[in-house]
Structure 1
Amino acid sequence: MSLSRILLIASLFVASPAIADDLIGRASVIDGDTLEIHGQRIRLEGIDALESSQPCTHRETGQNWRCGQRAALWLSDLIGAKTVTCTPAGTDRYKRTLARCYVGGQDISAAMVRNGWAMAYVRYSSRYEPEEAEARKSGVGIWQTEFDPPWDWRRSRRKPNAMN
C-alpha cells in the first residue's frame, strides 16, 4: 500500500465528526436533561425534563413533591460512575452542546422519557414520542402526577419585559 493511500485513509478517520467530536467521560448531572463532561455542559437533545424546583401533585395522594429534582436523581442513578459517550449535534441558545448521549450502549434520553422522568421535546424532535406514549400508558414517573409541561412552567416563571 502506498504512503499516500495510507495517509488518505488515516485522514478520513481523523476528519470524521463522530470520532473527533464525541465527548466521553464520567458525567455529572446538572438537572434531568443536562450533563457535564470535562467541564462542558451538554443538553440532552430531543427531551425536556421538569426543572429541579418544579413540583408535581400525585394523583392518588394529592401530595406535592419536587419531581424535577427526582428526575435529576434518577438520571444520576442511571449514569452512576459509568463512562458516558455523547455525540454532539449542535448548540442551544445558552451555548450548551446539544447531544445524544449513551451509557452502557443505552440512549440516555430514551431511558429518561420511557421511565417517565422527561418528555419528548416535540418542538425540536419527534424521536422520543414512542417512549413518551409508553410512559404515559404505564403511568410511570411524572405520568402518575399532575404537572405543567416544563416549557409551560418555565414560561409562567419568566418576568414580563418592562414597557417603557
Structure 2
Amino acid sequence: MRTLMIMMVVSGLWLPGGVLAGNAFSGAVRVIDGDTVDVGDVRVRLHGIDAPETDQTCRTEQGQVWACGKWVTDQVTTLFGGRMAECTPVITDKYNRIVARCTVAGQDVGHELVSAGLAFAYRKYAQDYVFAEKGAAIRDIGLHASRVQNPSQFRQTRAVGRIPPDRACPVKGNISSQGSRIYHVPGQRDYERTGIRTERGERWFCSASAARLAGWRAAKR
C-alpha cells in the first residue's frame, strides 16, 4: 500500500488535500468566496464559473458603487454554507487548488450560481454554463442588474506580485507591516491576496522548508 501511494504521488494521481484523482469526495461546505469553497478539508475552485472577488465592487445602473463581491459571498453562504457537497475533481489550477464539479442535494452548484446571477460562465475554461448565464442575463437578475467588471480582468489589475514568476517556486515570503516575515503556501486563506514586493525584501521560495531556513514563519491560516 505504501509503495502504491508513493507511485500515485509521483505520477500525479494524488491531488491536494489527500484526494485521489478521478475519485469523488464529500464534506460540509465552507464558503471562501463566490467560486471557491472548502469541502471538508479540501479547498475547491468550482469548475466552469467565475465570480467577483470578495473585495470587488460594482455599479448600479444609476452609478452607485456597491460591494457586489461581498454580496455574492454572502448569498453563496446562505445557499450552500454548512451543507454537504459531493465533488468530482477535474484538474488542479495554478494555485494548486482542486478544480471540481460539485453537487448539493443533487443540484449542480455551478449551474445554480450562474442561473441565479451570482457568477458567470468561465468561457476561457469551459462552456458548461453559457446557456445558464444567458438565461440570467435575459431575466436581468443578480449581477446582471449592475455594471460588473469581468472578474478575471479585475484580478489582472491587482495581480502584480501575486502570481509566481516561476511555478516551481510558489511559496510567498511576505513581510507584514509590523516587520514579521511570514510565508504563505498555495491553498491557504490569504495566499491569493498576498502580493510579493521584492523591493521591500519580500521574496518567493520553492518550498516551505526553504522559507523556514531563511527565517520566515508559516502563516497561521
Q: Quick check: TM above 0.5? A: yes
Partner of 1:130: 131
Which residues of structure 2 form unaligned runs of 5+? 1-19, 166-196, 198-221
Q: Which has the higher contact order (CA 8 A, sep 6+)?
A: 1
Partner of 1:76: 77
* TM-score normalised by L of structure 2: 0.61
> What's the secondary structure of 1:142's corresponding residue?
helix
Go from structure 1 to structure 2 and tell me whether the alpha carbon gap of 1:157 and 1:80 turns closer, same or farther (over 3 Å shift).
closer
| Counterpart among 42, 45, 54 of residue 43 in structure 1 | 45
Structure 1 runs of 4+ aligned residues shifted over 2 Å read 158-162
Alignment of 1:38-117 (within 5 A): 38-59=40-61, 61-117=62-118
Q: How many residues align?
A: 144
Partner of 1:11: none
* Cα distance in 2 between the residues matched to 1:80 and 1:151: 24
* Cα distance in 2 between the residues matched to 1:97 and 1:17: 10
Go from structure 1 to structure 2 and tell me whether the alpha carbon gap of 1:17 and 1:158 turns closer, same or farther (over 3 Å shift).
closer
Letter of the structure 1 residue corresponding to residue 68 of structure 2: C
> What's the secondary structure of 1:125's corresponding residue?
coil
Aligned-pair distance for 1:17?
A: 6.6
Q: Per residue, is there more helix in 1 or in 2?
A: 1
Partner of 2:27: 25
* Cα distance in 1 between the residues matched to 2:39 and 2:127: 26
* Cα distance in 1 between the residues matched to 2:60 and 2:90: 36
Letter of the structure 2 residue corresponding to residue 45 of structure 1: H
Q: CA RMSD in A?
A: 2.0
